[in-house]
Every structure is written in C-alpha cells, then in structure tokens.
Amino acid sequence: MENTITLQATQEAQLVATAMQTIMDEHRKLTASIKPEEIAALMPAINKGKSIFLMGAGRTGLMMKASAMRLMHLGYKVYVVGETTTPAIGEGDLLIAGSGSGTTAGIVRAAETAKNEGASVICFTTSPAAPLATLADYTVTIPAAQKQARDQDVSKQYAGSLFEQSLLLSFDALIQALWEIDGSTASELWKRHANME
C-alpha cells in the first residue's frame, strides 16, 4: 500500500513538473512575440493621466486589479472600474482595459464612455482588430489564445489562461520600467502598501 501511495505521489509530482515546464515554454514563445515598443508607448500616457482607471472582466479583471495596485504603489491616482468608490471618468483621465477577445460588451461600452468624456484608452488584447482595440489610443497585442479557442498549437492551457498570465507579466514589465525611471526606493513604495490588513 505504501509503495502504491509513493508511486502515485511520484507520478503526480511529475505531472506538476511537466505542467510547469509547458507553461514556462509557452511564455518564452509568447514573450518573443510581444512588442516591447507597444508597452513602452504606454508610459507617457500613464504619466500624463490625471486619474487612471483599470478594467477587466473575470480572471482578466483580477489581473487588472493587481496591476492597479502596482500603479498605486508607484504613486499614481488609480481606480478599479466597478468598485463602489470609483468616480466618473473625465477629460484628461486614462482607462486601461484588458480583454482577450476585445469584444466584451461592458468593457467596450466603458471605452466608448471614456472616449466621449475626453479620456484616453489603452487596451491589452489578443486581437488588434477587435472593437476595443479600434477604440483605443494605444493597444498592446498579446498573441495568446482567446478563452473560446481550443487551439493547442497556441496553448495547452485552458480557457485564456495564457493571455491572463501574460497580461500580468506584461504589465509588471511596464511597472518595472516606470519604477526604473521614477527612481524611488522599495522602502518609499512600501509606505503606500496597505497597512490595515
């Protein structure tokens, strides 16, 4: 019995190791397709935005919330769309939206509202021809599979996972670059970290 349990644990550990390698290999391949100049082009818009609003749906929304926190740590005035304390967007503000398909109705409507109010729009998407991208002033294309896609040549992961992971990594690269330019120390950023946890 003990040998059976040990064998099963070994097989499960191998499955986890293989899965980790698959995910890392997919990211190495995808990273080579992401254009760093598209991400770098966002930096002036972020620095110019009076208030920055971030938005995404589902798991992409979770990545956008994490990105909002990173921007807050750098000292930007940041809001997450949909939170009860988020104000109206206005002229000179910036909306950063993430949508793999670029067709999520609520996000496209939010981008239309932002444009109508005189705000700029940045989008992260898999499709540069999608409605969200056509509305955006700046687009970062992450050529990952959309959640509806079942193409294992693009990703063996389920339902848009590669896009969501790559969105967070791309945004973290942007944050790291902004931080390098800003020159603040980690201790200075830490002062903005939540202290009521």
Look at phi and psi of residue 54 and say left if phi exceeds 0, alpha if psi is from -120 to 50, else beta. Answer: beta
What is the identity of the amino acid at 19?
Answer: A
Catalytic annotation present for 180: no
Alpha-carbon distances, residue 9 vs 13, 14, 20, 23, 171 (angstroms): 6, 9, 16, 21, 36
Across the beta sheet with 94-98, the strand order is 78-80, 52-56, 94-98, 120-125, 138-141
C-alpha to C-alpha distance for 141 and 132, rounded to whole angstroms: 12
State the maximum Cα–Cα separation within the chain, in Å, rounded to a whole number: 69
* Options 117, 164, 188, 197, the catalytic residue: 164
Name which of 127, 132, 169 is nearest 30 in CA terms: 169
* Residues noted as catalytic: 164
